[in-house]
Amino acid sequence: AQSVTQLDSHVSVSEGTPVLLRCNYSSSYSPSLFWYVQHPNKGLQLLLKYTSAATLVKGINGFEAEFKKSETSFHLTKPSAHMSDAAEYFCVVSGGNRDDKIIFGKGTRLHILP
């Protein structure tokens, strides 16, 4: 069985400061892990994905995430927040097995303070 937990429903950071969005997962198999972003009134867009290659994954717009198997975590980070980063972020786990479902976290809304 799979599950994903986003530890914070809201995160507020000042523009220019680091961003950390936390995600823990559970999976019976080697999972595929993703971060998607959803801007208001827009569809979801893939930020980055982990599929058992390098544990540090670089994505678009300066975001990156580190896969830590021992901690079952896949936290999303960005060194310096920009106003345009204000959005909702979803951590997603997919087992890749035919019987496994794709599970979305509840989402973290990122607020950027001027």
Partner 1 sequence: KAGVTQTPRYLIKTRGQQVTLSCSPISGHRSVSWYQQTPGQGLQFLFEYFSETQRNKGNFPGRFSGRQFSNSRSEMNVSTLELGDSALYLCASSPLAGGLSGEQFFGPGTRLTVL
Using alpha carbons, select from 73, 71, 83, 1 the residue that is nearest to residue 35.
73
Backbone angles phi, psi at 60, to 5 degrees: -85, 160
At its nearest, how many Å lie between partner 1 and the CB of residue 99? 8
Nearer residue to partner 1 within complex by CB, 41 or 70: 41
At its nearest, how many Å lie between partner 1 and the CB of residue 6? 9
Our measurement of the distance from residue 86's CA atom to the centroid of its chain's CA atoms, rounded to an integer in Å, reads 14
At its nearest, how many Å lie between partner 1 and the CB of residue 16? 30
At its nearest, how many Å lie between partner 1 and the CB of residue 25? 14
Contact residues toward partner 1 (CB under 8 A) are: 32, 34, 36, 41-46, 49, 51, 90, 94, 96, 98, 101-107
Nearer residue to partner 1 within complex by CB, 41 or 114: 41
Contact 98, 38 (CB under 8 A): no
Nearer residue to partner 1 within complex by CB, 34 or 67: 34
Q: Cβ-count burial of 59 within 10 angstroms (0-12 exposed, 13-18 middle, 19+ buried)?
A: middle
